[in-house]
């Protein structure tokens, strides 16, 4: 008997509830047929003409188009990542086809399901078309009325200035997300000019602060992305899945380079789409990444697999650290919004000699058996290796200037000691992964220096220990010789050969004194220095008025669901005196706006784009089709608003005080010696610019990482900081990585285990969606109609849950519903829910956000102690069957007729 | 797959028509039930026409119907030809009877019609025999349709025999024939269930256990077995034993027809639900 | 003999669904119909020793198609180059072909009243281009060409794959679409 596709092993992906496609499209419904049966033989009069079997061929679905056909090259923006190159075919002004651009060095022709659905967004009937004003109280359907642009922006200007006058600029906060990156800077300019240090920023939980912060403290801010495009020998996906997320790395490049690599290692709690092909899979307990990384480091150090040269010459590994001295240091202003004070127990010349330099860091030379220093002011060695052999291990007797004899250890020894607290055997108990597997993975990764960087992303970032998670990864990658090497940690494509179109050289910047008012600064003292305000603190301020009231919001990208507790945030939105939003859709948050104005879809937008990952590409959004209705480039909206508020934007003669879009675009490409029109024409003809020449490898050697052009890193010691002096100064005890239990883990809070026995992770990528986007696009929604909770079949069986059952996911904060998907690719003790779900088909203002949005149940105070990222992965829940079934009124299958109502509505006149 | 109701009604009505006329033809040859023949043939014709109309609701382009003769290997083409010819035979027969042609002529026309009706009753089932659907891929299926046409036709004749007050021996003969055919049908149903249990490409969706004890059990046991088989069997058996002393023949016939229509509908609906393809990619 | 076909390397397929929506865009496929759909097979096994693959399913453009046998109008036909197409001007929408198909890849378009399915992008192939799903697959997992030509890319890749080449269940119709799957257990047909 041959094997067949049994019901339990093969199913639609996802398990949507349409039946077999071939016989489900009846000419008429059963109901109308039964009417017919009663009048068998009668004419078709009872049936609607559209369904009559006697009707002839209906009109073609695609309107007849002929004449002008163009194929236009563009960057894609169906997600907020990568910048894939695409070709868009336009017929008589209507975009009709999109394809990958094989010549694009960034993406190599990659294009995803979301891009193919672009036209359904561009021409969606529900897109915002005109400026709107609310007429009903917040919390109800807004009752939008259409107003003119002038009216809208006059009102916004008036209200924001009023509120600033009465409560101070800090009482106005912004919203910043991803997706439309043309929307970020313009809003920031206005807020800065108003004097507000406060923004709710997606970057707090995604890349900019978790990865960027860890990198800021370790090597350089944007070092996170790895040079996958030039190939890696060992491909490590750690809390990342760029085959689906395309984050900094196009899917095609991801898959291709995996197969060109010698080995593929995946670290993550669930079996992933490319992870199914991994040579080694470490399904660790959520939130234990630092323990895992330190275990690898332990193996690497004990097996001597680190790159000794790099560690000695370029890290602060050789610098001596003494527990018995007081931390001292200096003011450091190389990066950040203002100078910070470094106070460290690293042994300095000033500790051993009266009047000695506080910037000369001491190390032990094995050759002369004496102390030598590195000058972190001049960036020079007292004696340069290899003339000296800086000790990495050991403990050395040192006499301080006051005569005390103390012991000092190299930082690398401290790292070894710390890692030894997490041997693979100890890490096994913490991470739930066998010691043997941990050792195997570490040895494969570090088999030789330069095997490749580690693609570590949101799995590590949305954790209450994200800074240490990422620091331990960067340290591991650094000491194994993957810092700014081919395939190693390379960061984004930088510098730009052009200026940002949203440059605002004439706008006043925020007074430095305002930074002190950044919300969250008490708990997170480093936030104002190089980050921003804490999202949790923002909502606390709205609700409680402490430390001072927040009265108004200005959202241009971003949403309230992406971090902290979204139920708490939703209630806060109702309390704002004024809320202004620029968007494409009436998303839930837009339903809380006082004034809502439309912006452009990426196919209408003109902009210049750089690869987000290290692919060296610069591309263009040429504005493939004309803007529709009264939609406007949001930068133009920003400038018009600034004008109404008396905030200057440009600085003549380079840029008018209130520049036009055209002027800004010309201004942006001027450094490349082109006008915008020329740049667009060149791009169309020659494709993406390759700026690899601007990004040499090992930039730390050639001074490309510091503004003063000195070799080394933009850090207080000028070295790759294994021991972070910045963290030592502001978060003592955090200068070296350590594992910290997720705040509500089964070990930290055993009291919660009984009622909340499962560990929840959230936010894994869905191929057809980009975070909260695309729920209203038919070709996306029909493929993934509802959110799925992955649950192991054994766990489900114990709970009486079957495939496709709707289940409640409940934490101490509340509960939401998602649909169960039985999945053996996850630990029976762990469940995986989707994030950022709302249902456009549900009524305003909530649009169903109350039903399945997983962030309603997170603990907003489970935060990383440095950057405040919300722990959204790795907290306890209970799961049980929802006897109520699916939330009321939602689309649950591809057969739902409401999907058809969302099909494109083309502007009249064909364009 | 989802139940294709237009086709359910198509095969029910066409089966009834073919069956009814087949038995009209037999009465012609047996020289019995003279008064039943014309109404029986007319009913058969109306049923076939109604069945044809029902089938049209399944189509996307009725106006192209004559393209159907392009591929004579297709079950649909064969059905269409047989429906046409059978219908024609019935019309000719009715004309021949009304114009008072001799018994010999009537018998020849009836024989032709009988052959055509038999082929038609098999054809409407045979069209479903497809390698793609294991639950259908058996000669038991057209046999089931054939026997279904027979019981539908028999009860139709039975009604007319009762209404036209044919002599008791005739009515009893019709009753006996119906009883036997119902019994044969029961055996074939059992055989089919056994086939389901051993069919290649086993799958819970088209298993015997789903039919007998799963979500389909109520329709199977209630609709097909009890209503479609046991009640008409009981009635005809009772009539066989007790003659008309307890039950009027018309009651047996009408109730019987309703039952086998329901049972026939239930069977056809179940057939669709069990008719998943070997690779259920949905 | 010519048999144009697609082969898929399922180790490279990551279930990104680009091919599903690309096909929709190329052919303006109705909502709810999938000329190319992607299933997740598994994961199977015992955690963490589990395996999984994604299975894109499209018309198999069979060597001896079940659908063309039963189509009464001849609308469903197989071209000389092996592509199975539906002539929409002949189709009466009886859906017999959809019943006869072992794989459920034919869809009735209510508005047009005809049956539709993957055309192997014949409109592109006839211009010397490749089907959109082949062109746009992010994993570069699709190979295309003439199975009967040993020098074609598809033939070479299948040769390299050796015994790791599979098809879906064959009931004598001989599906032309080939699936390459290494290591994981093939679970169709």
pLDDT tens digit sequence for A318-358: 999 999 999 999 999 999 999 999 999 999 999 999 999 99
What averages of pLDDT result for each successive group of 10 residues across chain C (189 residues)? 95 97 96 94 96 96 96 96 96 95 93 95 96 96 96 96 96 96 91
Question: How far is Cα A296 from Cα A278, in angstroms, rounded to an integer?
Answer: 18
pLDDT for A8 equals 34
Q: Do B131 and C173 touch (CB under 8 A)?
A: yes
End-to-end CA distance of chain C: 26
CB contact C92 to A (< 8 Å): no
What value does the mean pLDDT take over residues A59-63? 31
Question: A320 is written with which tokens?
Answer: 């001596």
Query: Cα torsion at B196, B200, B202, B206 (round to 10°)?
Result: -40
Could you give the percent of chain A with pLDDT greater than 90? Answer: 88
pLDDT for A57 equals 27
243-282 in B: which are within 8 Å (CB) of C?
Answer: 275, 277-282
Whether the Cβ atoms of residue A258 and residue A274 lie closer than 8 Å to each other: yes
pLDDT for B282 equals 60
Chain A residue numbers touching B62 (CB-CB < 8 A): 53-54
Active site residues of A: 114
Strand partners, A408: A396
DSSP B224: I
Question: How far is Cα A551 from Cα A541, in angstroms, rounded to an integer?
Answer: 9
Nearest chain A Cα distance for residue B55, angstroms = 10
Nearest chain C Cα distance for residue A52, angstroms = 10
39-68 in C: which are within 8 Å (CB) of A?
Answer: 39-48, 50-55
What value does the mean pLDDT take over residues A888-909? 91
Residue carrying structure tokens 């994200």: A466
Phi-psi region of A804 (alpha: psi -120 to 50; beta: other; left: phi over 0): left
CB contact C10 to B (< 8 Å): no
Residue of C nearest to A897 (CA): C31
CB contact C169 to A (< 8 Å): yes
How does residue A31 score in pLDDT terms, banded at 50, 70 and 90?
Answer: very low
Question: How far is Cα A121 from Cα A89, in angstroms, rounded to an integer?
Answer: 16
Of the listed ranges A204-208, A272-276, B67-71, the one predicted with least confidence? B67-71
* Crossing angle of the two packed helices B249-274 and B140-163, in degrees rounded to 10: 160
Query: Which of A8, A12, A21 to substitute to test the interface with C, most C CBs within 10 Å?
Result: A21
Residues of A with CB under 8 A from a CB of B: 1-2, 4-7, 10, 12, 18-24, 26-28, 30, 33, 36-37, 40-41, 53-54, 56-57
Cα dihedral A238, A241, A242, A243 sign? positive
Q: How far is CA A570 from CA A119, A528, A549, B21, in A?
A: 31, 25, 17, 73
Mean pLDDT of chain A: 91
Q: Which parts of B1-139 fold into alpha helices (H)? A: 5-30, 34-56, 75-98, 103-126
The CATH number given to whatever domain includes residue C152 is 3.30.70.20
Phi, psi of A583 (to 5 degrees): -160, 175
CB contact B31 to A (< 8 Å): no
The interface predicted TM-score (ipTM) is: 0.97
pLDDT for A50 equals 31
Q: List, for residues B219-278, the tens digit of each pLDDT value.
A: 999 999 999 999 999 999 999 888 766 788 999 999 999 999 999 999 999 999 999 999
Distance of CA A137 to the CA centre of its chain: 33
**Contacts across the A-C interface (CB distance below 8 Å):** 202
Q: Do B281 and A4 touch (CB under 8 A)?
A: no
Q: Do C139 and A251 touch (CB under 8 A)?
A: yes
pLDDT for A495 equals 86
The answer as to whether B279 is a domain residue is no
The answer as to whether B174 is a domain residue is yes
DSSP class per residue in chain C: ---EEEEEETTT-----HHHHHHHHHHTPPTT--SEEEEEEEEEEETTEEEEEEEEEE----SS-HHHHH-TTS-EEE-TTS-EEE-TTT-----HHHHH-TT---EEETTTTEEE---TTHHHHTTT---HHHHH-TT--EEEEETT-TTSHHHHHHHHHGGGEE-S--SSS----EEE--SSPP---
Residue carrying structure tokens 């209970």: A878
CB contact A823 to C (< 8 Å): yes
How does residue B185 score in pLDDT terms, banded at 50, 70 and 90?
Answer: very high
71-130 in A: which are within 8 Å (CB) of C?
Answer: 97-100, 109-117, 119
Residue carrying structure tokens 């200035």: A161
pLDDT for A797 equals 98
- Angle among Cα B190, B8, B173 to the nearest 5 degrees reads 60
Residue of A nearest to C20 (CA): A113
What value does the mean pLDDT take over residues B122-148? 97
How does residue A21 score in pLDDT terms, banded at 50, 70 and 90?
Answer: very low
54-73 in B: which are within 8 Å (CB) of A?
Answer: 54, 56-63
Query: Which of A4, A8, A12 to substitute to test the interface with B, most B CBs within 10 Å?
Result: A4
Chains touching A (3+ CB pairs < 8 Å): B, C
pLDDT for A619 equals 95
Residue of B nearest to A51 (CA): B60
Question: How far is Cα A452 from Cα A261, in angstroms, rounded to an integer?
Answer: 10
Q: Do A111 and C52 touch (CB under 8 A)?
A: no
Chains touching C (3+ CB pairs < 8 Å): A, B
Chains touching B (3+ CB pairs < 8 Å): A, C
Whether the per-residue pLDDT at A46 is higher than 90: the answer is no
Closest CA to C149 of C159, C140, C135, C141: C159
Provide the pairing of β-strand A263-267 with A234-238: parallel
What's the structural domain count of chain B?
Answer: 1
The answer as to whether B280 is a domain residue is no
What's the structural domain count of chain C?
Answer: 1
Question: B282 is written with which tokens?
Answer: 């949905």
What value does the mean pLDDT take over residues A593-613? 95
Mean pLDDT of chain B: 94
Q: List, for residues A383-425, the tens digit of each pLDDT value.
A: 999 999 999 999 999 999 999 999 999 999 999 999 999 999 9
Q: List, for residues B3-17, the tens digit of each pLDDT value.
A: 999 999 999 999 999
Closest CA to B232 of B250, B249, B255: B255
Question: How far is Cα A393 from Cα A409, in angstroms, rounded to an integer?
Answer: 7
- Whole domain around residue C48: which residue ranges? 4-185
pLDDT for B142 equals 97
Residue carrying structure tokens 């037999």: B26
Task: Collapse the DSSP code of A265 into the 3-class scheme (helix H, G, I; strand E, B; otherwise coil) and give the result.
Answer: strand
What value does the mean pLDDT take over residues B50-68? 91
Q: How far is CA A572 from CA A588, A786, B44, in A?
A: 13, 27, 74
The answer as to whether B281 is a domain residue is no
19-78 in C: which are within 8 Å (CB) of B?
Answer: 37, 39, 55, 57, 66, 69-75
Cα dihedral B171, B173, B177, B182 sign? positive
CB contact A787 to C (< 8 Å): no
Chain C residue numbers touching B76 (CB-CB < 8 A): 70, 72, 94, 96
Q: List, for residues A221-267, the tens digit of each pLDDT value.
A: 999 999 999 999 999 999 999 999 999 899 999 999 999 999 999 99
Chain B residue numbers touching A51 (CB-CB < 8 A): none
Q: Do A5 and C187 touch (CB under 8 A)?
A: yes
Whether the Cβ atoms of residue A303 and residue A274 lie closer than 8 Å to each other: no
How does residue A646 score in pLDDT terms, banded at 50, 70 and 90?
Answer: very high
The CATH number given to whatever domain includes residue B131 is 1.20.1630.10
What value does the mean pLDDT take over residues A551-560? 94
- Whole domain around residue B144: which residue ranges? 5-274
Query: Cα torsion at B223, B224, B225, B231 (round to 10°)?
Result: 70
Whether the per-residue pLDDT at A19 is higher than 70: the answer is no
Residue of B nearest to C71 (CA): B74
Q: List, for residues A289-326, the tens digit of each pLDDT value.
A: 999 999 999 999 999 999 999 999 999 999 999 999 99
Residue A41 has its nearest CB partner, among B4, B53, B63, at B53
Whether the per-residue pLDDT at A543 is higher than 70: the answer is yes
Chain B residue numbers touching C92 (CB-CB < 8 A): 59-62, 64-65, 67-68
How does residue A17 score in pLDDT terms, banded at 50, 70 and 90?
Answer: very low
Residue of C nearest to B80 (CA): C72
How does residue A14 score in pLDDT terms, banded at 50, 70 and 90?
Answer: low
Residue of B nearest to A55 (CA): B61
Of the listed ranges A17-31, A476-490, A589-603, A831-845, the one predicted with least confidence? A17-31
Distance of CA B229 to the CA centre of its chain: 14
Question: DSSP strand E in A727-873: where?
Answer: 758-762, 788-791, 806-811, 814-822, 830-833
Say which residues have a Cβ less than 8 Å from residue A22's Cβ, sequence separation at least 6. Answer: B1, B277, C95, C98, C99, C101, C104, C105, C106, C107, C108
Distance of CA A345 to the CA centre of its chain: 34
Cα dihedral A71, A75, A78, A84 sign? positive
Question: How far is Cα A617 from Cα A84, in angstroms, rounded to an integer?
Answer: 10
């Amino acid at each position: 008997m041959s094997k067949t596709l049994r019901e339990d092993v093969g199913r639609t992906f996802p398990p949507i509830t349409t039946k077999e496609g071939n016989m489900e499209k009846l000419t008429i419904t059963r109901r109308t047929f039964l009417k017919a049966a009663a009048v068998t033989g009668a004419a078709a009069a009872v049936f609607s003409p559209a369904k009559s079997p006697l009707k002839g061929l209906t009109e073609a679905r695609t309107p007849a188009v002929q004449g002008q056909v163009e194929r236009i090259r563009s960057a894609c923006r169906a997600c907020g990542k990568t910048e894939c190159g695409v070709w868009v075919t336009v017929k008589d002004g209507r975009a009709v086809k999109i394809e990958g651009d094989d010549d694009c060095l960034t993406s190599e022709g990659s294009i995803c399901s979301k891009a193919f659905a672009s036209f359904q967004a561009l021409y969606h009937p529900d897109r915002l078309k005109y400026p709107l004003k609310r007429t009903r109280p917040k919390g109800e359907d807004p009752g939008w009325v259409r107003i003119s642009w002038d009216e809208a922006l006059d009102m916004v200007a008036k209200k924001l200035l009023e509120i600033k006058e009465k409560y101070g600029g800090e009482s106005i906060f912004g919203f910043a997300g991803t997706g439309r990156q043309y929307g970020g800077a313009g809003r920031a300019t206005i807020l800065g000019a108003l004097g507000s240090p406060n923004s709710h920023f997606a970057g707090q939980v995604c890349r900019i602060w978790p990865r960027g912060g860890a990198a800021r403290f370790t090597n350089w801010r944007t070092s996170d992305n790895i040079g996958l495009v030039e190939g890696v020998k060992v491909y490590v996906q750690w809390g990342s899945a760029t085959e689906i997320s395309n984050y900094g790395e196009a899917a095609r490049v991801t898959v291709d380079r995996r197969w060109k690599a010698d080995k593929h290692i995946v670290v993550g709690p669930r079996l992933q789409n490319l992870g199914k092909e991994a040579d080694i899979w470490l399904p660790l307990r959520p939130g234990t990444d630092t323990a895992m990384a330190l275990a690898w480091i332990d193996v690497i150090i004990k097996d001597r697999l680190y790159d000794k040269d790099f560690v000695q010459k370029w890290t602060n590994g050789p610098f001596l650290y003494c527990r018995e001295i007081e931390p001292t240091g200096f003011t450091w202003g190389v990066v950040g919004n203002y100078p910070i004070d470094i106070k460290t127990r690293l042994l300095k010349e000033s500790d051993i000699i009266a009047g000695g330099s506080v910037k000369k860091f001491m190390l032990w030379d094995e050759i002369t058996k004496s102390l030598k220093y590195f000058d972190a002011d001049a960036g020079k060695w007292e004696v340069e290796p290899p003339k000296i052999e800086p000790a990495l291990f050991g403990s050395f007797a040192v006499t301080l200037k006051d005569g005390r004899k103390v012991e000092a250890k190299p930082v690398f020894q401290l790292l070894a000691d710390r890692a030894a607290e997490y041997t693979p055997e100890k890490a096994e108990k913490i991470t739930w992964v066998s010691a043997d597997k941990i050792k195997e993975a570490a040895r494969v990764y570090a088999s030789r220096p330069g095997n490749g960087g580690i693609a570590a992303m949101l799995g590590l970032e949305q954790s209450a220990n994200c800074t240490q998670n990422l620091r331990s990864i960067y340290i591991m990658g650094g000491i194994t010789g993957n810092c700014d090497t081919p395939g190693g940690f390379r960061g984004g494509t930088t510098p730009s050969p052009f200026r940002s179109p949203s440059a605002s050289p004439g706008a006043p910047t925020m007074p430095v004194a305002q930074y002190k008012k950044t919300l969250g600064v008490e708990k997170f003292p480093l936030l104002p220095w190089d980050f921003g305000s804490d999202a949790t603190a923002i909502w606390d301020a709205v609700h409680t008025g402490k430390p001072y009231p927040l009265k108004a919001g200005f959202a241009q990208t971003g949403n309230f669901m992406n971090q902290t507790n979204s139920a708490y945030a939703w209630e806060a939105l109702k309390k704002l005196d004024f809320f202004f939003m620029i968007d494409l859709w009436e998303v839930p948050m837009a339903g809380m706006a006082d004034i809502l104005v439309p912006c452009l879809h990426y196919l209408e937008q003109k902009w210049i784009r750089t690869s987000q990952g290290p692919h060296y590409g610069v591309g263009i959004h040429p504005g493939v089709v004309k803007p529709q209705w009264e939609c406007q480039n949001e930068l133009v909206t920003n400038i018009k608003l600034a004008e109404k508020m008396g905030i200057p934007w440009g600085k003549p003669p380079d840029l008018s005080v209130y520049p036009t879009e055209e002027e800004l675009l010309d201004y942006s490409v001027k450094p490349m010696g082109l006008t915008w029109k020329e740049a667009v024409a060149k791009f169309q003809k020659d494709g993406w610019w390759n700026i690899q020449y601007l990004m040499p490898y090992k930039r730390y050697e050639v001074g490309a990482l510091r503004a003063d052009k000195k070799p080394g890193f933009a850090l207080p010691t000028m070295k790759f900081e294994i021991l972070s002096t910045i963290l030592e100064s502001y978060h003592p005890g955090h200068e070296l990585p350590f594992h910290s239990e997720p705040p509500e883990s089964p070990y930290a809070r055993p009291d919660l285990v009984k009622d909340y026995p499962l560990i929840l992770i959230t936010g894994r990528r869905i191929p057809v969606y980009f975070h909260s986007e695309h729920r209203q696009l038919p070709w996306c929604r029909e493929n993934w109609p509802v959110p799925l909770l992955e649950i192991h079949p054994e766990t489900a069986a114990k709970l009486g849950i079957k495939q496709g059952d709707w289940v409640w996911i409940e934490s101490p904060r509340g509960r939401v519903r998602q649909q169960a998907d039985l999945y053996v690719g996850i630990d029976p003790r762990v469940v995986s829910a989707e994030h950022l779900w709302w249902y456009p088909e549900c009524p305003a203002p909530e649009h169903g956000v109350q039903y399945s949005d997983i962030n309603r149940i997170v603990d907003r105070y489970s935060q990383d102690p440095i950057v405040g990222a919300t722990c959204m992965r790795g907290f306890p829940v209970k799961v049980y069957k929802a006897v109520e079934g699916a939330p009321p009124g939602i689309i649950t299958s591809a057969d739902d007729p409401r999907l058809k109502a969302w099909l494109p509505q083309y502007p009249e006149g064909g364009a | 797959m989802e139940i294709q109701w237009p086709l359910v009604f198509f095969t029910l009505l066409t089966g009834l028509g073919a069956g009814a006329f087949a038995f009209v033809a037999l009465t012609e040859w047996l020289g019995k039930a003279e008064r039943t023949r014309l109404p029986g043939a007319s009913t058969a014709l109306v049923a076939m026409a109604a069945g044809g109309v029902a089938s049209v609701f399944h189509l996307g382009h009725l106006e192209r119907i004559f393209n159907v003769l392009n591929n004579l290997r297709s079950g649909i083409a064969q059905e269409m030809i047989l429906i046409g010819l059978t219908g024609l035979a019935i019309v000719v027969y009715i004309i021949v009877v009304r114009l008072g042609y001799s018994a010999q002529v009537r018998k020849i026309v009836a024989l032709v019609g009988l052959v055509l009706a038999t082929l038609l009753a098999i054809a409407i089932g045979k069209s479903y025999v497809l390698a793609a659907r294991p639950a259908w891929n058996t000669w038991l299926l057209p046999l089931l349709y054939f026997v279904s046409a027979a019981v539908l036709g028999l009860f139709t004749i039975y009604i007319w025999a009762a209404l036209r007050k044919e002599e008791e021996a005739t009515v009893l003969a019709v009753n006996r024939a119906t009883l036997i055919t119902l019994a044969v049908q029961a055996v074939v149903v059992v055989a089919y269930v056994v086939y389901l249990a051993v069919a290649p490409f086993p799958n819970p969706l088209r298993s015997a256990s789903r039919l007998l004890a799963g979500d389909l059990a109520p329709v199977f046991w209630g609709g097909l077995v009890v209503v479609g088989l046991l009640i008409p069997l009981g009635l005809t058996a009772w009539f066989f034993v007790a003659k008309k002393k307890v039950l009027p023949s018309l009651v047996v016939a009408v109730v019987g027809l309703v039952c086998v229509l329901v049972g026939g509908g239930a069977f056809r609906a179940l057939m669709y639900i069990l008719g998943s393809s070997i690779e259920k990619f949905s | 003999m010519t048999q144009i076909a697609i082969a898929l390397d399922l180790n490279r397929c990551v279930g990104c669904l680009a091919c599903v929506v690309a096909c929709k865009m190329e052919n303006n496929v109705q909502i709810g119909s999938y000329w190319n759909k992607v299933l997740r097979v598994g994961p199977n096994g015992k955690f963490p020793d589990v395996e999984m693959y994604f299975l894109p399913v499209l018309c198999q453009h069979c060597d001896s198609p079940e659908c063309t046998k039963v189509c009464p109008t001849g609308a469903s036909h197989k071209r000389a180059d092996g592509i199975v197409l539906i002539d929409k001007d002949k189709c009466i929408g009886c859906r017999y072909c959809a019943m006869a198909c072992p794989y459920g890849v034919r869809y009735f378009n209510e508005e047009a009243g005809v049956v539709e399915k993957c055309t192997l992008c014949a409109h592109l192939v006839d211009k010397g281009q490749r089907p959109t799903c082949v062109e746009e697959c992010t994993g570069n997992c699709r190979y295309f060409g003439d199975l009967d030509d040993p020098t074609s890319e598809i033939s070479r890749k299948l040769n390299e794959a050796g015994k790791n080449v599979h098809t879906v269940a064959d009931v004598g119709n001989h599906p032309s679409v080939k699936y390459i799957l290494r290591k994981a257990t093939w679970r169709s047909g």
